[in-house]
Amino acid sequence: MTDKRERHILITGFGGQGIVMAGDILGRAATLYDHKHATMTQNYGPEARGGACSSQVIISGEEILFPCVEEPEILVCMSQEAYTKNVKSLRPEGTLIWDTDLVRTRKSDMSFKTFHIPATRFAEQLGTKMMANIVMLGFLSAVEPLVHADALKKAVLESVPAATRDNNLRAFTNGREYGQSIIKGTLEQEQAKLQD
């Protein structure tokens, strides 16, 4: 049975991080490879690079009537400004995901389900921080499975220049494996609590 509910995702950061590209890849994976409906809208600050930037993605098993994300269920933050500006819009039962290299969170915002990854550092280890968005997509695929991982991987590979495909695949895989290790650790902790 297909999950028909709408999933509202807000990916935020600054221009030059590939925020819009990440949203486009996620929507493409949903529509082309998972056969779901998806919309993606983008928002830029007045500056081309370095200004606030966001990508709003809605994924659904049914037709989407309104394309804007007003109260995200999942908020991905890749800059401090993005976190500060958008965390108040996250649904109370939502998921907050952030890049630990670029965002400092407040304890008061830890009532959400939270996940974090040093995405920029992972990307730099692969040779360029420009792939932090792909690391983050891999991570997202593990901690919040919105689309099948293979669908997301295919969408990544068709969205990046051919010469960078291997590196982008590594970025995606590194992010996903990190996310899977966190999920595994969380499940083990929950099982240990049940046994106590």
Instruction: Work out the average pLDDT over 173-195.
Output: 83
DSSP letter (8 states) at residue 129: G
pLDDT at position 51 is: 77
Share the mean pLDDT of the chain: 90
pLDDT at position 38 is: 95
Burial 94-128 (b: 16+ CB within 10 A, else e): bbbbbbebbbebeeeeeebeebbbbbbebbbebee
Count of other CB atoms within 10 angstroms of residue 68: 10
Please give the domain boundaries of the chain with CATH numbers for all domains: 7-195 (3.40.920.10)
User: 149-159 and 165-195 helices cross at what angle (nearest 10)?
Assistant: 160
Nearest C-alpha neighbor of 104 from the set 91, 121, 89, 87: 87
pTM of this prediction?
0.90
pLDDT at 107 over 90: no
Which amino acid, 95? T
Instruction: Work out the average pLDDT over 76-98.
Output: 94
CA distance 74 to 4: 17
Give residue-wise pLDDT tens across range 50-61. Answer: 678 999 999 999
Which amino acid, 172? F
Task: Classify 72 as helix, strand or coil.
Answer: coil
User: Distances in Å between the alpha carbon of 168 and those of 37, 97, 157, 173?
Assistant: 25, 20, 7, 9
CA distance 72 to 36: 19
User: Distances in Å between the alpha carbon of 163 and those of 82, 119, 120?
Assistant: 31, 21, 21
CB 141 within 8 A of CB 154: no
pLDDT at 108 over 90: no
